[in-house]
Amino acid sequence: MDSELSKQSLWVPRRASTASPIESPTSPTSGAQAQPPVPEHTESDGESSPLSPSDPTSTEPQQRQRRDSRVKNTGRRIAQIVKLKPEFVEQYKEYHANVWPEVLKQIKECQIRDYSIFHDPGTGILFASFLYVGYGFADDMERMRDNPKVREWWALTDGMQESLVEGAVSSADGGWWREVESVFYAA
């Protein structure tokens, strides 16, 4: 995995789109040869295809895929870590037992599903895991950051955390949670 991408925050993209457009599959009834569907990203391949939902820099081809209902995005699992300051453990748990509806709505609108955060009291590590099912990760994370209620939520929770990313400032500025590599998956 690209080292810059592995340090990328869930919420803020680090690179602009550089992908070139692709042609969408042609209908078999039009007489033209149908293009094969875009291959699904697998956790074990180690690199992102330029057409994969796992590549946050590739937005235009993915937007075209979205318009073609025959191509279904099965998602990309993302895992991240940050350290929770010991004096905020109970408060952090209380906040997350009552996440603001506006924050939950924005998470869903940004194509994030199956989102969980775990805490290891021995190390203070918070482990977040979620499935991204959209086609434009960078765009969706930009929309997340643009939501005032989400930024307000981050301002509350960032103060309870210690980033493991060198030079990180805040969730809103990007790179707060450190992405971690998947080493095993069984469905």
**Contact between 35 and 97 (Cβ < 8 Å):** no
Which of 70, 85, 96, 105 is catalytic? The answer is 96
Which secondary-structure segment (H or E) carries 144?
helix 137-146
Q: Which residue has the tokens 């069984």?
A: 186
Structure tokens at 135: 């086609």
Look at residue 45 and give its three-state secondary structure. helix
Look at residue 116 and give its three-state secondary structure. strand
Distance (Å) of CA 9 to CA 2, 24, 55, 176, 186: 14, 30, 13, 6, 25
**Contact between 75 and 133 (Cβ < 8 Å):** yes
119 phi and psi, to 5 degrees?
A: -125, 130
Whether 96 is catalytic is: yes
Residues classed as catalytic: 96
